[in-house]
Structure 1
Amino acid sequence: MNTLTTIELPAADGYRTVELLEPALLDTVSTPPRSRIAYAAGHVVGDPLRSSTGSQAAIDWDATLRIRHSLWDLGLGVAESMDTAQRGMGLDPTTALTLAKRTLAEARTAGGAVVVGIATDQLDAAHHSLEEITDAYIEQLGEIEAAGGSVVMMASRHLARAAKGADDYLSVYGKVLDSASRPVILHWLGSMFDPALEGYWGDRSISEASETVLALIRSKKDKVAGIKVSLLDKEHEVSLRRRLPAGVRLFTGDDFNYAELIAGDEQGHSDALLGAFAAVPRFASAAFAKLDQGDHTAFRNILEPTIPLSRLIFEAPTQYYKVGVVWLSYLTGWQSHFRMIAGLESGRSLLHLADLFQAANGIGLFPDPETSAERASAYFRAQGF
């Protein structure tokens, strides 16, 4: 029986032939890294028979939770119910809460680390007062803490619309942090991920917004475990990291430059809370194992080849990066189909999916390249290619 050695992929002018490469040899570990804190933002697996545009979130719970266990088995923590799980792009707040509670329960059996995103998405799309927005945050905070979880305080579209300036952000965040019984991770999500968050923290200038963020953290440093920064601006991240109070961590959300930022410099390093790690979890596990041994060169040699793939996954329009995460999960055998809740798989073109296959194959991402190629070819044929 012949085995596949190449694959025909869609190209702008017809076809391209890509040679299948052997999987990367990676020494993964099952224990969490000692040198850094590392969370992979997990995606959700849709029910392939029921997921569609306009439908209520239909999730394959068994497959979704298996992915969490797979991440824990690689020593990674799970960042749950966040934008990688299509929060605000198909995952409604009720289902997000159910997902969070189920993951927290699974984590207790597996000994896995979890942080859970909270937001204000139980509010409708109308304009809401600062008091209503504060209460919405506190409601979700209470639900997660009652379930035994710690939270990531996600950016609020409602607050971005209602706030008149920096003082409104300080007021809302201050009250929510005062209500927390455990230290909270803040989240600064850039408008490239969600255009509705333009001018978050009360200013379109990143430098001015940073002053507001730092003022908040300094005033509530005992309540803040860290801040996840997702602005795809490594110079800004390093600058902000160096100005944080002692004990407050910066979790990189920079899916373009994470290897350099996590490696750090003589003045410090970033920890990780990344959607990209849901796409390259085996590489992350092996890289952190080397970093724990003090081998920064090996860490970067393993992780830096994943950066071009991550940049492709997160290319503009960046909010559709979830499609790439799910596509690679399907190709690597972590799930059995390529359907997404809300029909979000339509957010990327066939050419983009082909580019992702080629880039992933190029770094040896696929544990079984032949099976990955068969899955990709079958999908492209079904689309008329």
Structure 2
Amino acid sequence: MTVLTDRDVRIPGADGRWEVVRLHEPRAWTEHPAPFRSRVAFAAAHVVADPLGENVPGAPAVVDWDATLGFRRHLFRYGFGVAEAMDTAQRNMGLDWPAVQELVRRSAHQAEELGARIASGAGTDHRDRLATPADVREAYLEQVGFVESTGSQVIVMASRQLAAVAAGPDDYLAVYDAVLGQVREPVILHWLGEMFDPQLRGYWGSTDVAAATATFLDLVAAHADKVDGVKVSLLSADHETGLRAALPDGVRLYTGDDFNYPQLIRGDGTHHSDALLGAFAAVAPAASAALAALDAGDLAAYDAEMAPTLPLSRHVFEAPTWHYKTGIAFLSWLCGHQPGFTMVGGLQSARSVVHLGRLLALANDARLLPDPDLAAHRLGVWLEGAGVRP
């Protein structure tokens, strides 16, 4: 017989059994408001839905701006720049263009006030009918111009519309040549793999990753002065290590590998990756402690701080990977960063009871529950509402 205490919580399993999790005492994480010296680190942040908004599938997004900006201040306090209006914020999955514009304006203004770094996604998702690569080019230029007008750095996001109309690598190069020829400051190029968005299959003109990489490198080499770095989200550590070694001098590799980021950021002694990760929105205090240790040259402490975050990240990003945003928002709610667990587009339904319950156990293992009692209470309320009782 299992003896339960007030520090225990039950989480459901797929087999109908319940696991007892003993809650750890909260850890007092050290804030780190200054940027890190040894790595550039962005956390891709989610948006908090207004619980009274009509945030159903297909409806315009209604955002809780106070909670959304509050979460960004949480990330800034731990040394991270914010990667804004990216796929973590539900681009192409509920966050429409008017909401994107308001989000980038507000977030860029806050970052300027706080002296923090921000980079924001510019894509082509505000236009419905793009029939040619030239149409895609013009759509890109509109969004790039908007992001630049806010003072934010630009992240040139992968475009579903370009993937749909491009006939081959030359169409990609022509569109990106035009965009990079007109940006005012160096940008981050984003290569998002099909595991994050199936509509991006064959990006850069080929489903063969080696061929696509060759095209991508040709583009970067031709515009190295306009490329601060590349953000690669293919979930392949081997591909990333090869790509970063082939980049021109001065061009960063911002890892987007939520499965292998500790080793990629640590580096191999010759090259390392910087970071632009949705996972860092979930594990910010622990990742901050790890990066501070890296700044101090303490690799053992870096490894020890990062290691407990990886099982949590791999669970959040498990297949179907594109639904990882649901876990990010659920953890934010469990940790008290937002008042409720609702998402724009109704995306709170995208993960199962079992998946979300497991998040509490993994966050507890990583000492990432600032108020374990609140987290346990909220999980219990949510499970009961879902019709699940031990």
Which TM bucket (shorter chain)? over 0.9
Q: Residues 336-371 of structure 1, C-alpha deviation per residue, up to 9 Å, x if partnerless?
A: 111101110100000101111111112211011111
Q: Pick from 153, 170, 177 the counterpart of residue 150 of structure 1.
A: 153
Equivalents in 1 of 2:10, 2:246: separation in Å?
A: 50
Match of 1:128 in 2: 131
Match of 2:36 in 1: 33
Q: How large is the RMSD of aligned CA atoms in angstroms?
A: 1.2
The answer to whether the aligner puts 1:270 opposite 2:273 as a matched pair is: yes
Preserved contact between residue 331 and residue 372 of structure 1 (Cα < 8 Å): yes
Alignment of 1:326-337 (within 5 A): 326-337=329-340
Match of 1:68 in 2: 72
Q: Pick from 184, 189, 193 the counterpart of residue 186 of structure 1.
A: 189
Preserved contact between residue 130 and residue 136 of structure 2 (Cα < 8 Å): no
Q: Pick from 108, 118, 140 the counterpart of residue 122 of structure 2.
A: 118
The answer to whether the aligner puts 1:351 opposite 2:354 as a matched pair is: yes
Preserved contact between residue 144 and residue 150 of structure 1 (Cα < 8 Å): yes
Equivalents in 2 of 1:301, 1:6: separation in Å?
A: 25
Which residue identity does 2:302 align to in structure 1? F
Equivalents in 2 of 1:176, 1:49: separation in Å?
A: 39
Which residue identity does 1:257 align to in structure 2? N
SS of structure 2 residue aligned to 1:227: strand
Could you tell me how far 1:127 is from its partner in structure 2? Answer: 4.7
SS of structure 1 residue aligned to 2:9: strand
Match of 1:258 in 2: 261
The answer to whether the aligner puts 1:367 opposite 2:370 as a matched pair is: yes
Equivalents in 2 of 1:198, 1:119: separation in Å?
A: 17
Could you tell me how far 1:3 is from its partner in structure 2? Answer: 7.5
**TM-score in terms of structure 2 length:** 0.96
Could you tell me how far 1:230 is from its partner in structure 2? Answer: 0.2
SS of structure 1 residue aligned to 2:276: strand
Match of 2:290 in 1: 287
Equivalents in 1 of 2:27, 2:308: separation in Å?
A: 11
The answer to whether the aligner puts 1:247 opposite 2:242 as a matched pair is: no
Equivalents in 2 of 1:4, 1:116: separation in Å?
A: 43
Could you tell me how far 1:137 is from its partner in structure 2? Answer: 0.4
Q: Residues 137-180 of structure 1, C-alpha deviation per residue, up to 9 Å, x if partnerless?
A: 00111111122121010000000001111111000000000010
SS of structure 2 residue aligned to 1:151: strand
Which residue identity does 2:322 align to in structure 1? Q
Preserved contact between residue 24 and residue 363 of structure 1 (Cα < 8 Å): no
Task: Give me the identity figure in percent.
Answer: 49
Which residue identity does 1:54 align to in structure 2? G
SS of structure 2 residue aligned to 1:280: helix
SS of structure 1 residue aligned to 2:172: helix
Q: Pick from 303, 306, 329 the counterpart of residue 306 of structure 2.
A: 303
**TM-score in terms of structure 1 length:** 0.97
Structure 1, unaligned runs of 5 or more: none
Match of 1:95 in 2: 99
Match of 1:6 in 2: 8
* Between 32-41 and 363-372, the greater mean CA deviation after superposition: 363-372
Which residue identity does 2:280 align to in structure 1? F
Q: Pick from 48, 53, 78 the counterpart of residue 57 of structure 2.
A: 53
Equivalents in 2 of 1:376, 1:185: separation in Å?
A: 38
Q: Pick from 81, 84, 87 the counterpart of residue 85 of structure 2.
A: 81
Q: Residues 115-142 of structure 1, C-alpha deviation per residue, up to 9 Å, x if partnerless?
A: 0000000110x45211110000001111
User: How many aligned residue pairs are there?
Assistant: 383
SS of structure 1 residue aligned to 2:308: helix
Match of 1:205 in 2: 208
SS of structure 2 residue aligned to 1:18: strand
Equivalents in 1 of 2:175, 2:98: separation in Å?
A: 22
Could you tell me how far 1:52 is from its partner in structure 2? Answer: 2.3
Equivalents in 2 of 1:235, 1:14: separation in Å?
A: 38
Match of 1:140 in 2: 143
Equivalents in 1 of 2:247, 2:36: separation in Å?
A: 23
* Between 46-55 and 163-172, the greater mean CA deviation after superposition: 46-55
SS of structure 2 residue aligned to 1:158: helix
Equivalents in 1 of 2:353, 2:362: separation in Å?
A: 14
Structure 2, unaligned runs of 5 or more: none
Match of 2:221 in 1: 218
Q: Residues 274-293 of structure 1, C-alpha deviation per residue, up to 9 Å, x if partnerless?
A: 00000001011111111111
Q: Residues 172-218 of structure 1, C-alpha deviation per residue, up to 9 Å, x if partnerless?
A: 00000001010010001000000000000001111111100100011
Could you tell me how far 1:15 is from its partner in structure 2? Answer: 2.4
SS of structure 2 residue aligned to 1:228: strand
Could you tell me how far 1:328 is from its partner in structure 2? Answer: 0.5
Preserved contact between residue 28 and residue 289 of structure 1 (Cα < 8 Å): no
